[in-house]
Amino acid sequence: MIKTRHLTILGSTGSIGESTLDVVARHPDQYRVVALTADRNVEKMFEQCMRFHPSYAVMLNARSAEQLEDKLRVTGLATIVLSGIESLEKVASLPEIDTVMAAIVGAAGIRPTLSAAQSGKHILLANKETLVMAGKVFMDAVRQHHATLLPIDSEHNAIFQSLPRHFNGDLSGSGVRRILLTASGGPFRTADLAILETVTPEQACAHPNWVMGRKISVDSATMMNKGLEVIEAHWLFNADPEKIQVVIHPQSVIHSMVEYIDGSVLAQLGNPDMRTPIAHALSYPERMESGVQSLDMFKVARLDFEEPDFRRFPCLGLAYEALAAGGNMPAVLNAANEVAVEIFLAGRIPFTAIPVMIEHVMKSTEKQDTPDLESVLRADRQARESAHEWLSSNFRQNAGQSVESPSCSIGQ
């Protein structure tokens, strides 16, 4: 029997947050939503508050918090409305909650997720940046404060399910040869390389299998998303880079695999629906209904696999390079990518300039250790400044000009 859990959902108005609430709503006797948080989506937060009656609602944006408070006051709902990053940290560490869904996209999710770890919470981790930027800092906090960490990314959740139940971070001691991290290949897996410079944000966001936000959709198109997941897998499973193999699997049915030294390969399969890993993590170590349809193997019919082409997907190579370099480089990689994707979606640079900007920022940044969160955030700020400087130098008067592909060494 699954015990009643008291939840804070960081990023409740995003796709992961909404899927989490969908699963929770199917089991109202087992979950109590204590706090919901968002950036500035007042309308959706208002709807969620009216449905789930949380004790707290936090808007990162102060003006949005005022608007939400005005709307809730009319209804008589007793939800307390707060704003700002400190309030996110507060609701992630409330004594009355035991479980935190960390689904805020971007660097804004790091502080509250770290606060949850320092409070010993049961953390369902969907925020990539926490591990990409501050992997050591966060994992040290998880261990020191005896927090529980369960991955929500479909790939990492699949790996978690395919590892031994009591995996202790020792891959070799558990008989694991390597991790096989699957990737769909995105919308440009077979596209002519010559057209990539002219693709539109709409084309880049048209993922063939998953319905996702615009930023993560672009990351999937460049395969930076998979590169960030390689870095995540390193921290989650204590895996050296050479033990993490990316495998392109266009059907997105196998979400990832673990290969053992005896030749066995264990895989987790399912329809591409994030409610599966969410329900798994919410109910772990039990299982519960998620609302996901059964996988029709006869309809799937075939499963294909390909090696990634690092010329087509240079961002994947850059991520491996950042992981190998360590220190501040993963944070630099992530920050430069966030800026590049943002300005691509705004129509200010071509799709092919995304990896060029990232490589420039990485090469122009001195490697440094990041022993604490402040040094991580400092690396993030400096990388963003460098990215904007590169943009000003290369695209202010010459928007749309062609750029050379980055010269990453991985896989060439």
**Average pLDDT score over residue span 241-262:** 97
Each residue's pLDDT tens digit, 269-328:
999 999 999 999 999 999 999 999 999 999 999 999 999 999 999 999 999 999 999 999
Task: Write down the pLDDT at residue 400.
Answer: 45
Q: Which tokens belong to 207? A: 């993922």
Per-residue confidence band for 396, with pLDDT thresholds at 50, 70 and 90: low
pLDDT at position 407:
46
Return d(Cα 160, Cα 150) in angstroms, integer. Answer: 8
pLDDT tens-digit series, residues 208-244: 877 677 888 999 999 999 999 999 999 999 999 999 9
Q: What own/partner pairs with CB < 8 Å and gap ≥ 24 does 63-67 have?
A: 64/38, 64/39, 64/40, 67/42
Q: Report d(CA 329, CA 315) in Å as an integer.
A: 14
Say which residue the tokens 């709807």 belong to: 47
Is the pLDDT at 263 greater than 60? The verdict is yes
Pick the range with the lowest mean pLDDT from 202-206, 253-257, 328-332, 356-360. Answer: 202-206
Across residues 233-258, what is the average pLDDT?
97
Q: Is 332 exposed, middle or buried (0-12, 13-18, 19+ CB in 10 A)?
A: buried
| Average pLDDT of the residues in 6-11 | 98
The whole-number pLDDT of residue 1 equals: 56
- CA end-to-end distance (rounded Å), the chain: 52
Looking at per-residue confidence, does 250 or 105 come out higher? 250
Q: Are 271 and 295 in contact (CB under 8 A)?
A: yes
Q: Name the pLDDT band for 72 (thresholds 50, 70, 90).
A: very high
CATH topology of domain 5-151: Rossmann fold (3.40.50)
Whole-structure pTM over 0.75, yes or no? yes
Residue 401 confidence (pLDDT) above 90: no
Say if residue 265's pLDDT is above 90: yes
Residue 411 pLDDT? 34
Which pLDDT value is given to residue 108? 87
pLDDT for 125-173, tens place per residue? 999 889 999 999 999 999 999 999 999 999 999 999 999 999 999 999 9
Confidence grade of residue 194 (pLDDT, cut at 50, 70, 90): very high
pLDDT of 409 reads: 41
pLDDT band at 2 (very low <50, low <70, confident <90, very high): low
The edge-to-edge listing of strands for the beta sheet with 56-59 is 80-83, 56-59, 31-38, 5-10, 99-102, 122-125, 148-151
| Domain boundaries, given as residue ranges, for the chain | 5-151
**Band of residue 398 on the pLDDT scale cut at 50, 70, 90:** very low
pLDDT confidence of residue 207: 81
Q: Are strands 5-10 and 99-102 parallel, antiparallel or unpaired?
A: parallel
